[in-house]
Every structure is written in C-alpha cells, then in structure tokens.
Chains A and B, each alone.
Chain A
Amino acid sequence: MSKVLMKGNEALGEAAIRAGCVHFFGYPITPQTEIPEYLCKRLPEVGGVFLQAESEVAAIHMVYGAAGAGVKCMTSSSSPGISLMAEGMSYLAACELPCVVINMMRAGPGLGGILPAQSDYFQATRGHGHGDYQCIVLAPASVQEAVDLMTLAFDLAEKYRNPVMVCADGMIGQMMEPVEFRSEGRGPPMAGNDWALTGCEGRPRRIVNSLHLAPEQNFAYNVRLKEKYDRAAREEVRFELYGDGRPDVLVVAFGTMARISKSAIDDLRREGRRVALFRPITLNPWPYAQCRAAMDAMPEGAKVLDVEMSMGQMIYDVKLAAEGTRTIEFLGKAGGLVPSPDEVAARIRALLP
C-alpha cells in the first residue's frame, strides 16, 4: 500500500476507522483538535457517529454508554481533558468495557501550556481515577507507529475488555509524516460482545455495573481484575532496543523523547561510541524484565540515562527495573521545552567512560 503524507492527529483519526471504530465522542482541546476535526468529516462517509460532547466528562461517559452497548468507540483529549475523564476511566475499567482513549499530552500542571510534554506519565500509568484499576498504555514514537498502534489498541481493548490509552504528545499529533495504512476502508466491528447491552429479546437480561457492596464480593472482583492485568503484563509487553548490544550508556526514553534520543545515539555511534536506547512501547504493562536484561548486558560501571519531557516520572519505573543494580541518571525538561538531540548527546558524552 502506498504512503500518504498526513498530520499525526489526522492519521490517528483515519487509523481508528481502519481499526473499525466508527463511534467518536470528544471535546476540543489543543493539541489534539485535528482528531475530532478530521473525524467529523470522515465518519459520516463510513456511516459512523461523530459527536462533540459538552465536556470531557460527558465524552468519556458517552464512550461508557457506547462501549456498554457493544460498539468499538473512542475519545481523544489532552492533559487537562484527561483529568476530567478520570471518573469515566475508572467506571469503564470497573465495568470491563473496551474503548480507546488518545492522550496528546501537553505541558502542565494546571492549564500549563499547549506545547508537547510527557508530564502525564504518572496519570497514564498509575491510574487516572479511583480504585485498583489499570489501563493498558501504548506510546508511539512516530506517526506511522501511532497509526499501527491504533489497531493494536482496539484489539487489546477487546481482548482484555479494558480501556486502552494511546499516549502520545503534541509533537506526534502535529507532525506531518508519510504513513502507510495496512488495511483498506472501515475495519471490522467489535467481535464477541456477548456481554453488551443490546436489549434482552431472546436472551437473559444483562447488567453493566460496578457496584459491589459486599466487601468479599468486591475483593473477589478486584482479584479478577488484577489477574487480567497480570495476564496483560505477561503477554502484552512491547519495547524496542536500539543500538549497541553492550553499551556504555543506555538511554531509556519513550515517545518523542525516544525519537530525539535516537538521533543523538546515531551521531555518537558514528563516532564509534557504544550507546543504546531502550524504548518502552507499552508504558503499562512496563517492560521491566526486558529493560533489566538490557542493563545486565552492559559492562561494569556503564550508565543508564533516563530522558523525559517531564521533571522525572518514568524514571521510577526505570529504577524499579534496575532494582538498585545501577544508578539512574536523569535528563528532563518540562513546560513545553524538549531536550534537543545535542543536549541529549552532550549528556551521554559526559557519562561515557
């Protein structure tokens, strides 16, 4: 299939349709607004539903209603909007309803700014709302990968009956890149939704509910959810290891920051330096064992550098992976500033033997 030049946000909108999602509910916020603006034109062409909600709160509960009625559905937003969706995310996870939520992260806290950031890593991976629930989180580093991960996101949402977040940043949303869609036209509808509320004609009635007043019953429910998250941790971990197999410096970064780090690593490798990148693609489940293996392959005294567009959030997972075997260095900028390839390279250089 040939490549087309598309803005990241629009490509994500198209990717959703190719994945079979034709129900979109969302509220405008920079830097993701091109997603709804694209879908409001495209969805009617494929017999889909586009609805501009009155708020992110409403949007995520519309997703709850549509997902509960058994259709592939999604919303997209950016940081402050995701905060408002926290309640709905908890209910969706609690009721085991599949859906996809795109987060084009922008700088925070508060109103923050509209420039790209990765400051909502905690929010994405540690739960947005209340309760012992988790969300599968996918972090693309290019427009092409964002498109590919959309199909995976809907597949995982259905497989685990759980919300899946595609967590990118404004850079990926705004950037124009050639992309290839791996399938034509509107993708397949949700399969195996024999739990969905569709009217009980000819079958026993169904209930979508997260109220479990008896503590034993609620505990059992939590245990069941945890087993599901543990299964995802066993089966769905995705990552990329790039560069030298026995590096003197291992950079750990995700999304846009991984991409920038890669070009720093390329420059250094051209100079004959031994450097590598470990890039988690699933931010939850996090590839702890795989990252640890990459660390263990390093020579004695080699350094690990965590690079983020935040004040340091993923670094806690890198530390968990290291389990005290290495000290983890940090380079980060927030507020909409992004460490440049030169800055990353300079920092790596300082850590090289």
Chain B
Amino acid sequence: MGHIAIEQVRCKGCGRCVVACPKNLIEYGTELNERGYAYVIFKGSPEQCGGCTLCAVSCPDQGIEVYNSRDRKVFVNTTGLTEVMTHYCPGCTHGVVHRLVAEVLEEMGLLGRTIGIAPVGCSVLAYEYFNFDMFEAAHGRAPAVATGAKRARPDRIVFTYQGDGDLASIGGNEILHAANRGEKITVIFLNNAIYGMTGGQMAPTTMPGQKTTTTPFGRDTADTGQPLRVAEMLATLATPAFIARGTSHDAKGTLKTRKLIKEAFEHQAANRCFSFVEVLSTCPTNWGLSPNEASDWVEETMIPYYPLGILKRPAPEAVKA
C-alpha cells in the first residue's frame, strides 16, 4: 500500500507521529542522530501503511515523507520553508504552524508575493525558516509593521506570526486597531498559554491554575484575571473580518487549521478583509509535559476554554464592497 521515509537527521524524537499513526506503525528509537535525538523508526510493512499522511501532518520538523502504493510521494515537504532545521523544542507545534502557513502560500502560488513579519517570541527566528521576504519586529508591534508594509505595497500578501504574550499582552493595542481598521493583512496567532521564549512566565492566555514561573502556585484568576480570549474579542468588532480558531495539537485538528489558514489568506488575496487565525499550540518544555502529554493538555484544558471554529466571516455584502 504505502510507506514513509523518516529523515533521521531532522527527527527530534518527539513521538507525535508515534501517536498520530492510526496503525501504530512508528515506534520510539534508541539510536541517536547527529543532533543527539533518539529518532523514531517505521516498523510497518508496505501492506500495513495506508499512506494516510497523518504522521507527517503531526510532525513539527518536516521529518517524514509519505509514499503511496505506486511509490509516488503523497506528502511533500513545502518549498515555502527553507531546509534550515528549527531551534524549536521537540514536540513544539510552532513547526507545524510554520508548515501550514508555508504550504498554504505555496499552494496559492503566493510565495513570491508574500511579506511575513515575526516579532519576538520563540518564533523570532522565523525569518530563518520561512522561504520568502521576512521582517523581524519588536515585541507586539507586528500588526503595526504589517499595516505599514501593506499600505506601502497593497498588492503584496502581508502576514504576521505572533505568540500570545506578544499579541495578547504587550501588543494588545496594535492588534485591536489593525483589526478594527480592517487592515487587509492576515494574523497567525499562536496561543500556547505561556511566554515560551523567556522561559515560561504567565501570559494573558495562561489557564486558571496553570503553573508558570511567575505563577508558581498556579494562576490565581482573582489576582490576574481570566485567560484572554482574543479571537472572541476581535469578533465583537463591527468591522468585517475573518476570525477563526484552530489547533495544532493533533493531526485532525491540524488539517482543519490548514483550511482556516487558507481561507484567511484567500480573504486577503481578494482584498476583502482583515483575517485572523488563532492556533492552539503546545509548549511541552514550559508546561513540564512530554510532547504527547502536552497535546492531551491542549485537548483537555485549552479547547474547552478556547473553542475551535470560525467565529466570524465577512458578511456577503461586505465581501462585495
């Protein structure tokens, strides 16, 4: 039927693919690759593998290619990403979300027309990974930078890629007003309920009771407020917009999120409206969980509070205007 090729050197041994494979054909390995990670092994035979691609979809590190029964590649790594191996921790889904953005832009033929903006946060090095023109930006200011770039080059595709500390805390004003002006930009908002880069402090999105380095006894909402639902807040604005929330914690959710990201860029390509996709993401390192436990935590703790789906679409009249 099918088979997969695991690129040993790219594998960080996070085990997300192990869980993603519906037929249990991937197992943890014991041998270390040159970067010191115990890479996983495909233990199945071609008859067993259905070529479903779910392992590759869950992989944050472009570590897996999938072939069908006629030995044709059915999961191809996108040219929207460079070959550079990311600095992300094993199982961090920043890599998954990067890939989704890059795949969508490639599919839409937009790579050569895109300007991306990544402010500080674990994704500050995104300019090393996205294979097109990129700005690095100051903490929280990406929507303002995007506004300037888009107003200067209205025929280009401009997007920001921001973390939750960045967008929901220090950059609260910039995102609010970019959305309210209806800037024709796309915002990819990676919500991992924590300040990843600075070592795991509380973010506005941190869950009640969640332990962080600045809430060592768990987030006390009486003292620090409730987690901020930015997508819901932006959806209350009267300005037409596409506002959605997806997840990257599992393969199924990731595939749905890809559709949301695609729709977001379609709205921009049609010069229709501001578009915003929040993506729930894992930070195994700062949550103190294994990659797969982190995925479970998204499912059990985050999704009930941050429901998935499309919160707002531009009304048809607005679309025409």
Which residues of A pack against B, CB within 8 Å? 23, 25, 49, 51, 53-55, 57-59, 61-71, 73, 87-88, 91, 197-202, 205-211
B252 within 8 A of A: no
Interchain CB contact (< 8 A) of B173 among A25, A57, A88: A57
Contacts of A65 in B (CB 8 A): 117, 135, 144-152
- SS of A interface (majority): mixed
Q: Which of B102-146 contact A (CB under 8 A)?
A: 111-115, 117, 124-125, 127, 131-138, 141, 144-146
Report 10 cross-chain contacts, Cβ distance below 8 Å, ordered by A residue: A64-B148, A65-B147, A66-B152, A68-B135, A68-B148, A88-B138, A197-B115, A197-B133, A199-B157, A208-B135
B233 → chain A, closest Cβ, in Å? 15
Chain A CB count within 10 A is highest, among B145, B147, B148, for B148
The answer to whether B112 and A197 have CB atoms under 8 Å apart is no
B177 within 8 A of A: yes
The answer to whether A206 and B152 have CB atoms under 8 Å apart is no
B296 within 8 A of A: no
Q: How far is the CA of A151 from the CA of B136 in the complex (A)?
A: 29
A201 → chain B, closest Cβ, in Å? 3
Q: How far is the CA of A91 from the CA of B138 in the complex (A)?
A: 7
Which residues of B pack against A, CB within 8 Å? 111-115, 117, 124-125, 127, 131-138, 141, 144-153, 156-157, 173-174, 176-177
B122 → chain A, closest Cβ, in Å? 13
A51 → chain B, closest Cβ, in Å? 6
Given A61-B174, A205-B133, A207-B134, A199:B156 Cβ within 8 A: yes
Q: How far is the CA of A346 from the CA of B132 in the complex (A)?
A: 65
The answer to whether B148 and A66 have CB atoms under 8 Å apart is yes
Given A73-B148, A200-B132, A58:B112 Cβ within 8 A: no
The answer to whether B147 and A51 have CB atoms under 8 Å apart is yes
Chain B CB count within 10 A is highest, among A49, A51, A68, for A68
- SS of B interface (majority): helix
Contacts of A198 in B (CB 8 A): 115, 133, 153, 156
- Other A-B contacts than A67-B148, A200-B111, 9 sampled, CB-CB below 8 A, are A23-B148, A54-B177, A57-B144, A64-B144, A65-B117, A65-B150, A205-B131, A207-B135, A208-B136
A220 → chain B, closest Cβ, in Å? 18
Contacts of B132 in A (CB 8 A): 199-200, 205
Q: How far is the CA of A206 from the CA of B127 in the complex (A)?
A: 9
The answer to whether B112 and A62 have CB atoms under 8 Å apart is no
Contacts of B125 in A (CB 8 A): 211
The 5 closest A-B pairs by CB, nearest first: A65-B148, A201-B112, A62-B148, A61-B144, A65-B145
The answer to whether B151 and A87 have CB atoms under 8 Å apart is no
Interchain CB contact (< 8 A) of A197 among B138, B147, B149: B149
A148 → chain B, closest Cβ, in Å? 26
Q: Which residue of A lies closest to B141 (CB)?
A: A61
Q: How far is the CA of A71 from the CA of B152 in the complex (A)?
A: 6
Contacts of B141 in A (CB 8 A): 57-58, 61, 64, 87-88
Interchain CB contact (< 8 A) of B124 among A25, A57, A88, A211: A211
Q: Which residue of B lies closest to A70 (CB)?
A: B152
Q: How far is the CA of A59 from the CA of B177 in the complex (A)?
A: 12
Contacts of B115 in A (CB 8 A): 69, 197-199
Contacts of B173 in A (CB 8 A): 54-55, 57-58
Interchain CB contact (< 8 A) of A199 among B114, B148, B174: B114
A65 → chain B, closest Cβ, in Å? 3
Q: Which residue of A lies closest to B135 (CB)?
A: A208
The answer to whether A58 and B127 have CB atoms under 8 Å apart is no
Contacts of B136 in A (CB 8 A): 207-211
Q: Which residue of A lies closest to B131 (CB)?
A: A205
The answer to whether A73 and B144 have CB atoms under 8 Å apart is no
B280 → chain A, closest Cβ, in Å? 26
The answer to whether B174 and A200 have CB atoms under 8 Å apart is no
Q: How far is the CA of A53 from the CA of B147 in the complex (A)?
A: 10
Contacts of B146 in A (CB 8 A): 65
Q: Which residue of A lies closest to B185 (CB)?
A: A65
Q: How far is the CA of A58 from the CA of B145 in the complex (A)?
A: 8
Q: Which residue of A lies closest to B173 (CB)?
A: A54
A183 → chain B, closest Cβ, in Å? 23
Given A71-B152, A200-B111, A200-B133, A209:B127 Cβ within 8 A: yes
Given A199-B115, A205-B132, A91:B137 Cβ within 8 A: yes
The answer to whether A199 and B113 have CB atoms under 8 Å apart is yes
A236 → chain B, closest Cβ, in Å? 26
Q: How far is the CA of A207 from the CA of B130 in the complex (A)?
A: 10
Q: How far is the CA of A205 from the CA of B177 in the complex (A)?
A: 29
Q: How far is the CA of A236 from the CA of B98 in the complex (A)?
A: 45
Given A197-B133, A199-B113, A66:B149 Cβ within 8 A: yes
Interchain CB contact (< 8 A) of A209 among B135, B152, B153: B135
Q: How far is the CA of A89 from the CA of B145 in the complex (A)?
A: 13
Q: How far is the CA of A58 from the CA of B147 in the complex (A)?
A: 9
Q: How far is the CA of A207 from the CA of B147 in the complex (A)?
A: 18
A130 → chain B, closest Cβ, in Å? 11
Q: How far is the CA of A61 from the CA of B117 in the complex (A)?
A: 12
Interchain CB contact (< 8 A) of B127 among A54, A59, A207: A207
Given A200-B111, A200-B133, A58:B149 Cβ within 8 A: no
Q: How far is the CA of A183 from the CA of B159 in the complex (A)?
A: 38
A154 → chain B, closest Cβ, in Å? 15
The answer to whether A69 and B113 have CB atoms under 8 Å apart is no
Q: How far is the CA of A65 from the CA of B156 in the complex (A)?
A: 13
Contacts of B114 in A (CB 8 A): 199
Contacts of B111 in A (CB 8 A): 200
The answer to whether B177 and A58 have CB atoms under 8 Å apart is yes
Contacts of B152 in A (CB 8 A): 23, 49, 65-66, 69-71, 73
The answer to whether A206 and B177 have CB atoms under 8 Å apart is no
Interchain CB contact (< 8 A) of B151 among A49, A57, A199, A211: A49
Given A61-B174, A200-B111, A207:B133 Cβ within 8 A: yes
